């Protein structure tokens, strides 16, 4: 193998360090792919009578593609394949992960799951948007809540009116 400077590199000189996190990504993608396929097989045929393709096709295709791409990645990892950083990335790959932020974001996701039925999407989504902005570093708390409330209402009506998908109204049932 010849480098840009014209110096030959033997395979033993090539950096073969592996990021074990890539294998975790492969495992998660395979699990999600299997879940999509199994879940798609459970969809009843009469769910969408006007769709000539059926409701199962796209989740199954996405599941199969996820599994295939995971296998390809798992084969490429030990061969030294690494993604190149974008030229515009402004992160330091040597810094430690901020597990506090990750934990808080996971807690916000769990809170939305728990609160969406009793409070409704508008309130739970608004709190989620505001909380996410705050956790990610915004110090404008009032603005976070206002923008979260606007996004909650807009997304509620975008799904309800635009797509015909009813989201839980919760305690605002009858008002929205």
What confidence score (pLDDT) does residue 9 get?
52
Dig out the tokens for 113 from the structure: 């799951």
What confidence score (pLDDT) does residue 2 get?
52
Is residue 60 within 8 Å of 27, Cβ to Cβ? no
Say what the pTM is: 0.55
Q: 2 in helix, strand or coil?
A: strand
Taking 50 as the pLDDT cut, the residues of the chain under it are: 11, 13-15
Helix axes 99-119, 121-135, angle to 10 degrees: 170
Dig out the tokens for 53 from the structure: 């393709």
Using the structure block, give the residue that is written with the tokens 């074990």.
20
What confidence score (pLDDT) does residue 51 get?
63
Is residue 101 within 8 Å of 136, Cβ to Cβ? yes
What confidence score (pLDDT) does residue 92 get?
72
What confidence score (pLDDT) does residue 77 get?
86
What confidence score (pLDDT) does residue 50 get?
66
Is residue 63 within 8 Å of 33, Cβ to Cβ? yes
Q: How far apart are the first and last CA of the chain?
A: 65
Is residue 123 within 8 Å of 174, Cβ to Cβ? no
- Residue 76 to residues 12, 79, 126, 172, Cα–Cα distance (Å): 17, 5, 42, 51
Give the E-state strand segments of the chain in sequence order.
none
- Provide the residue ranges of all domains of the chain, joining segments of one domain with +: 20-79, 99-172
What confidence score (pLDDT) does residue 14 get?
46
Q: 8 in helix, strand or coil?
A: strand
Phi and psi, residue 2, nearest 5°: -105, 135
Q: How buried is residue 136: exposed, middle or buried, by Cβ count under 10 Å (0-12/13-18/19+)?
A: exposed
């Amino acid at each position: 193998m010849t480098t840009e400077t014209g110096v030959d590199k033997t395979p033993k000189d090539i950096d073969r360090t592996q990021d074990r996190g890539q294998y975790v990504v492969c495992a998660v993608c395979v699990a999600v792919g299997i879940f999509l396929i199994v879940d798609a097989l459970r969809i009843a045929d009469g769910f969408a009578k006007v769709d000539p393709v059926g409701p199962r096709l796209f989740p199954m295709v996405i599941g199969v593609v996820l599994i295939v791409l995971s296998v390809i990645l798992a084969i490429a990892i030990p061969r030294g394949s690494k993604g190149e950083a974008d030229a515009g990335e402004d992160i330091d790959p040597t810094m430690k992960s901020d597990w506090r932020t990750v934990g808080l974001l996971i807690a916000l996701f769990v809170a939305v799951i728990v609160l969406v039925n009793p409070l409704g999407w508008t309130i739970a989504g608004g709190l989620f948007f505001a909380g996410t902005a705050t956790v990610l570093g915004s110090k404008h708390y009032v603005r976070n809540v206002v923008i979260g409330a606007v996004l909650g209402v807009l997304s509620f009506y975008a799904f309800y009116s635009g797509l015909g998908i009813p989201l839980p109204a919760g305690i605002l049932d009858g008002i929205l």
